């Protein structure tokens, strides 16, 4: 590489610019870390896990500073033989710069070093999310903490928690205590259930915030509400057993859903709240009112997907009223793209698109409706960023309904502005990578499905568009992500060793 020129190093997501400055690398042995205390603590933890020791000394310094005035979450990093300086425009930017610095550390004949580089970096989108489904399989607090850490190191800044579904209700609310008392006991396949106490939930919110991650809780409705009926049967309709539901039961096993019986299968679309009953809206107000009081972030997710047994007019009336309830709480509603078909959504309701990279069945029309309503979109194309799709045909984990196998290359080679005609850069709030958990029981399962594809999603959310630089190509990404292996192993991440990646 030539001094002053672009370079390919082990940084994921790709930074805006990175240049070789042409000096010898910075040696970590004998170096001291000075500056912002929180950032210094984070860096010591990262380097200790990677190298087996933490820098200590005063021969040379790693200086970590915040200088306000730049773009939100941006940072610069300048490393040469004598010093390293990381400067964040805010605490989040410095945090991300520290994680870039840890990725730059490599073992050489002179011990662990940081190559002499200059980095200027800022996010493309302000919403960069991952989603964890804790309803199909419940995941304890420690697992969610670990998932937050994994997301934060890749510069994601939102954690969408899918807290409720047909298989279980996972957060306690004082206003409706029967939800967890009666509706939290099982998971898919008859596995044990569970739920978060209010203290658990508040702890996760605080844990995430300390890593510059905002929690976005989802209470899915009017469909995906079978567990509600276990606690409050007067609020739900009887299951609608369509041919599609029965085919899913036949394919994946288990019993067909039945009123008042806990459901542990994988069918979707059979349940609904009683939309014409005012008690249902009292329930919506109780649930989101209490959740809003526990959630400092700006967003509450109302679901709104796969209400297959609900009359379209009833569905439109429900999501309009539910989003208005959320807006009246001072929060911004988010809904899956199906809700875009409703003409009277609360102004500013954010849409989340989960259709394919090439839209089908009018999904793009529903998504465009959110933009016409004055709100942006979160893009989660299922055949690119759904982390629960199989990575290989013989994997025991994951599903294949999103156009079959999603390998690392397919996860990488898509462009957010090319998905929905008429939706440009300014219409996109960001990118989110969901991980549904029908087949996922443990942190090891999460790691196996998420990595390395979660890094591709991070790059779609953070980095400049595909093809705009030498770094934003599949060939560059596979090289850079392959060099993440030592750092990922040091952090205990059991990543899938994709054959497409030259692992180092």
The answer to whether 98 and 64 are in contact (CB under 8 A) is yes
Query: How many CB atoms within 10 Å of residue 422?
Result: 10
| Burial grade of 285 (CB within 10 A; 0-12, 13-18, 19 or more) | middle
Quick one: DSSP state of residue 248? Answer: H
Q: What CA–CA distance (Å, rounded) separates 99 from 77?
A: 11
Nearest residue to 299 via CA among 99, 160, 173: 160
Handedness of CA 443, 449, 455, 461 (dihedral sign): negative
Q: Where are the beta strands (DSSP E) in 289-427?
A: 299-303, 332-336, 350-353, 377-379
The answer to whether 221 and 310 are in contact (CB under 8 A) is no
CA 117 to chain centre: 30
The answer to whether 392 and 500 are in contact (CB under 8 A) is no
Which residues make Cβ contacts (< 8 Å) with residue 467, sequence separation at least 6?
473
3-state secondary structure of 243: helix
3-state secondary structure of 159: strand
Can you spell out the DSSP letters for 57-103? -SSEEEEEEE-TTSSTT-EEEEE-SSEEEEEESSHHHHHHHHHHHHH
The answer to whether 349 and 335 are in contact (CB under 8 A) is yes
What angle do helix axes 443-450 and 141-153 make, rounded to 10 degrees?
Answer: 20
Q: What CA–CA distance (Å, rounded) separates 496 from 142?
A: 21
How many angstroms separate the first and last alpha carbons of the chain? Answer: 20
Q: Which residues are catalytic?
A: 306
Residue 398, Ramachandran bin (φ over 0: left; ψ between -120 and 50: alpha; else beta): left
The answer to whether 354 and 403 are in contact (CB under 8 A) is no
CA 205 to chain centre: 14
User: Pairing between strand 299-303 and 214-221?
Assistant: parallel
> Which stretch of DSSP H or E encloses residue 133?
strand 127-133
The answer to whether 367 and 353 are in contact (CB under 8 A) is yes
3-state secondary structure of 475: helix
Nearest residue to 76 via CA among 84, 104, 103: 84
């Amino acid at each position: 590489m030539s001094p002053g020129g672009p370079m390919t190093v082990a940084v994921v997501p790709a930074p805006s610019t990175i240049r070789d400055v042409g000096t010898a690398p910075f040696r970590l042995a004998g170096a001291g870390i000075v500056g912002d205390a929180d950032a210094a603590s984070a860096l010591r933890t990262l380097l200790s896990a990677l190298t087996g020791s933490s820098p200590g000394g005063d021969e040379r310094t790693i200086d970590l500073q915040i200088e306000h005035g730049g773009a939100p979450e941006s940072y610069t990093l300048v490393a040469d033989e004598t010093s390293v300086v990381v400067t964040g425009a805010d605490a989040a930017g410095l945090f991300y710069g520290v994680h870039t610095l840890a990725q730059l550390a490599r073992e050489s004949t002179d011990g662990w070093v940081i190559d002499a580089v200059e980095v200027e970096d800022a996010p493309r989108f302000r919403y960069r999310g991952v989603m964890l489904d804790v309803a199909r399989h419940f995941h304890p607090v420690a697992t969610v903490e670990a998932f937050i850490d994994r997301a934060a190191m890749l510069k994601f800044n939102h954690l969408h928690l899918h807290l409720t579904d047909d298989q279980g209700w996972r957060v306690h609310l004082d206003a409706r205590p029967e939800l967890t008392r009666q509706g939290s006991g099982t998971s898919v396949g008859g596995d044990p259930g569970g739920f978060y106490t209010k203290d658990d939930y508040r702890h996760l919110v605080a844990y995430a915030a300390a890593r510059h991650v905002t929690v976005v809780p989802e209470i899915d409705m009017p469909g995906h509400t079978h567990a509600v009926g276990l606690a409050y049967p007067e609020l739900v309709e009887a299951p609608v057993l369509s041919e599609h539901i029965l085919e899913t039961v036949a394919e994946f096993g288990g019993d067909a859903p039945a009123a008042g019986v806990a459901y542990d299968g994988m069918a979707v679309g059979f349940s609904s709240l009683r939309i014409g009953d005012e008690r249902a809206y009292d329930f919506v107000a109780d649930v989101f009112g209490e959740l809003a009081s526990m959630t400092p972030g700006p967003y509450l997710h109302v679901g709104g997907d796969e209400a297959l047994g609900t009359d379209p007019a009833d569905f439109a009336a429900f999501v309009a009223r539910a989003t208005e309830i959320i807006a009246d709480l001072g929060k911004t509603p988010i809904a899956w793209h199906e809700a875009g078909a409703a003409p009277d959504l609360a102004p500013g309701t954010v849409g989340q698109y989960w259709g394919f990279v090439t839209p089908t069945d009018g999904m793009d029309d529903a998504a465009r409706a959110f933009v016409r309503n004055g709100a942006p979109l979160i893009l989660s194309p299922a055949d690119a960023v759904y982390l629960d799709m199989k990575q290989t045909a013989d994997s025991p984990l994951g599903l294949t309904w999103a156009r079959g196998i999603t390998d690392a290359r397919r996860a990488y080679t898509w462009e957010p502005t090319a998905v929905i005609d008429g939706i440009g850069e300014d219409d996109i709030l960001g990118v989110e990578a969901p991980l549904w958990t029908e087949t996922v029981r443990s942190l090891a399962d999460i790691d196996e499905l998420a990595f390395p594809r979660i890094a591709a999603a991070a790059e779609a959310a953070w980095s400049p568009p595909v093809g705009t630089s030498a770094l934003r190509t599949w060939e560059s990404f596979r090289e850079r992500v392959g060099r993440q292996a030592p750092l990922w192993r040091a952090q205990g991440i059991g990543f899938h060793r994709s054959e497409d990646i030259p692992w180092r």
